[in-house]
Structure 1
Amino acid sequence: MVPVAVVGGLHADARRQAVKRLLADVPGAVALHHDLSTAGRGTVTRTVRDRTGVLSAAEVALVDGCACCALREDLVPELERLTADGSVPLVVVELWDSVEPKATAEAVAGAGLRLTGVVTAVDPALVLPYLGNGDDLADVGLAAAATDRRTVADTFARQLEYAPVLALAASQEADEEDHALLTQLHPTAHRVPITATGATGTTGDTRTAGTVGTRPLADAALAGFDVEAAAAAQHPACALLPAEADEAGVTTLVWHRCRPFHPERLYAALEELTCAAARSRGRFWLADRPDTLLHWDAAGGALCVEGAGPWMASLPDAAWDLVPPVRRAAAALDWHPEHGDRCQHLVFTSPGLDRDGLELLLESCLLTDTEYAAGRAAWRRIPSAFDALLEV
């Protein structure tokens, strides 16, 4: 089957460079792109190009006024057409600026196509500015639909953290702090310079795609991709969160506790906690909601808190067999004799992080010894401060 690689990223110049590099390094490869900027005219523009230029272009009508819907409806049939006779060595799906790779990757794999890589292209000098940009995508002309309420920061964070491969643009403006921030945000990523060439400086044909060092970005894009593992690594219950780190002025604090938060004190501290770091994420629990695993996701000075299902400890034994093994394994790592897998596991990453002040603030939001000793029946009677935020 013909390999398909997905390349995305809000850093449009870096993304285009990465796609250009792939087309150059894999002779005969083509790139499929849906331009959502034309949605205001009621269409999405689809182009197919190779290293020499545009091979075809067409306008696709919006589906129910939704550009992303049109993309989903057109993407798989077009990929099936491009890969039908096996003559194309690689199809690169170049995502439009604010399209996130997860849904596209799952659509490609779900259609039975051979997804071999997901790449996010990044300009290291722009990581902190984009993480700090709380503007709505709609306000900067990057909304993918009329109902799109995402921000630049949270969209960029998800693009960055989902992809196992980061294609790095050469940037004279990037310094050690920028690279340290990128490393700490996604420490397991395979980072490949877009301009890198192998020891031989040659491209070869696609049958040598696995040859280490001949064309690093192409090798990474063809290495293989596990959709289920990628989804599990992002799920709040078993997310693969960064570890403690401190380098070049950038710090990652991993804060792990078993005692529940007092809902009113935590709510009062949300603004300060949200602004304490360029990026924070994780899972937590509230004393008045002991059965609900809550997801913490903050970037650009904005916080999203939402329920992510039950804690394993709140499920009946018979339900455990219905839970994916990776979820059970994550619960086992956090298991507490009294609380089970209920825990506070929050990670804060930022240049100039006030680690001591942040830890003190977080500790002040936990139940006090007296409140904790009162027991769960008393905890449930604590006034709930999160009803509006969780839309209860």
Structure 2
Amino acid sequence: MVTVVDAANLLKDYSSQDFLADRGESLGEDDTRSLVSLLVEQIEFADVVIINKADLVSPEHLATVRKLVAALNADARILEARFGRVPLEAVLDTGLFDDAKAETRPLWAKELYGYAHHRPENEEYGVESFVYRARAPFDPTKFHAFSSSGWDGVIRAKGHFWLATRPDWVGELAQAGAQTTTAGLGRWWAAIPRNRWPDGDAFERSVGDKWDSVWGDRRQELVFIGIGMDEAALRYQLDACLVETTAFTPDIWQGRDDPFPRWGVQEAA
């Protein structure tokens, strides 16, 4: 899979709040995707990324574009081009595409799920990354303020979270550029009767690796990828959102302020 990006406009588009419909590029009335979500999707799952119009930007600008691409896709072959000209052998019959590996290609997935053998992006491109993990729920008001604040230097953030007011539900956070979204993914396995769990040793091992004797698989697990981001400050802000488990009783938190939108019919049930 080959993706072509415009060196002159990528940084501007990545920080845009536009939807595809705003650019006249939607697939129809039901296509509510944002411009940045499409950019991210196309870069994260590409085998080859061609940075076109490389001659129209400064070396510093081009270096930042390369860092952005590398931050989104750790394994892509990155090529620079003028007028879209690249050697045909670089894009045809490359043998690079592997459907099974496509899901592990984004850098956030490598960091979050611990896929081995990915190259040290910080050494080659100056891209930084870290995973925030905690075994305590977030205060929804504090975490909502954090997720809405914008984070200097962060290019991509992804992961799942646990709210004190929704102890049974997995929340998902996804950030790219200027856009941050949250949604409900479903229930934690700890909230599902064991007789409804999938069969198989692989599932038992995957859940067992993340299991806490009190809270089960409930946890915070968020990856942040950026250039020049302040990891210590981000960790401090996230720690400030936590509710200490020694003082946490789910029943007490029911009905407290929770500014997050309802997560479908589940929250209403």
Partner AA of 1:297 in structure 2: A
Partner AA of 2:68 in structure 1: L
Pairs within 5 Å for 1:57-206: 118-123=1-6, 126-163=9-46, 165-169=47-51, 171-172=54-55, 173=57, 175-187=62-74, 189-193=75-79, 197=87
Question: Within 2, Cα distance between the matches of 1:137 and 1:274?
Answer: 24
Correspondence for 1:262:
139
Contact kept, 8 Å, 1:131 with 1:153, in 2: the verdict is yes
Question: Within 2, Cα distance between the matches of 1:297 and 1:155?
Answer: 13
- Structure 1 residue ranges without an equivalent (≥5): 1-117, 198-202, 204-214
Task: Please tell me whether Structure 1 or Structure 2 has the larger radius of gyration of its CA atoms.
Answer: 1
- Bigger relative contact order, structure 1 or 2, given CA contacts below 8 A and separation 6+? 2
Q: CA 1:224/1:180 → structure 2, altered by over 3 Å: closer, same or farther? A: closer
Pairs within 5 Å for 1:331-346: 331-346=207-222
Partner AA of 2:240 in structure 1: S
Pairs within 5 Å for 1:310-329: 310-321=187-198, 325=202
Q: Could you state the TM-score of these two structures normalised by the residue count of structure 2?
A: 0.75
Partner AA of 2:250 in structure 1: R
Provide the secondary structure at the position in 2 that maps to 1:360: helix
Worse-matched range after superposition: 150-159 or 276-285: 276-285
Post-superposition CA distance 1:275-332 (Å, at most 9, x none): 762322111111121221111112232222111122222222222225895x666544
Correspondence for 1:297:
174
Post-superposition CA distance 1:75-134 (Å, at most 9, x none): xxxxxxxxxxxxxxxxxxxxxxxxxxxxxxxxxxxxxxxxxxx33333466543332121
Q: CA 1:285/1:180 → structure 2, altered by over 3 Å: closer, same or farther? A: same
Q: Could you state the TM-score of these two structures normalised by the residue count of structure 1?
A: 0.54
- Structure 2 residue ranges without an equivalent (≥5): 115-119
Q: 1:390 aligns with which of 255, 263, 269?
A: 263
Q: CA 1:382/1:146 → structure 2, altered by over 3 Å: closer, same or farther? A: same
Q: 1:308 aligns with which of 166, 171, 185?
A: 185
Question: Within 2, Cα distance between the matches of 1:332 and 1:125?
Answer: 47
How many residue pairs are counted as aligned between the two chains?
Answer: 248
Q: Shift of residue 241 of structure 1?
A: 4.2
Partner AA of 1:336 in structure 2: D
Percent identical: 26
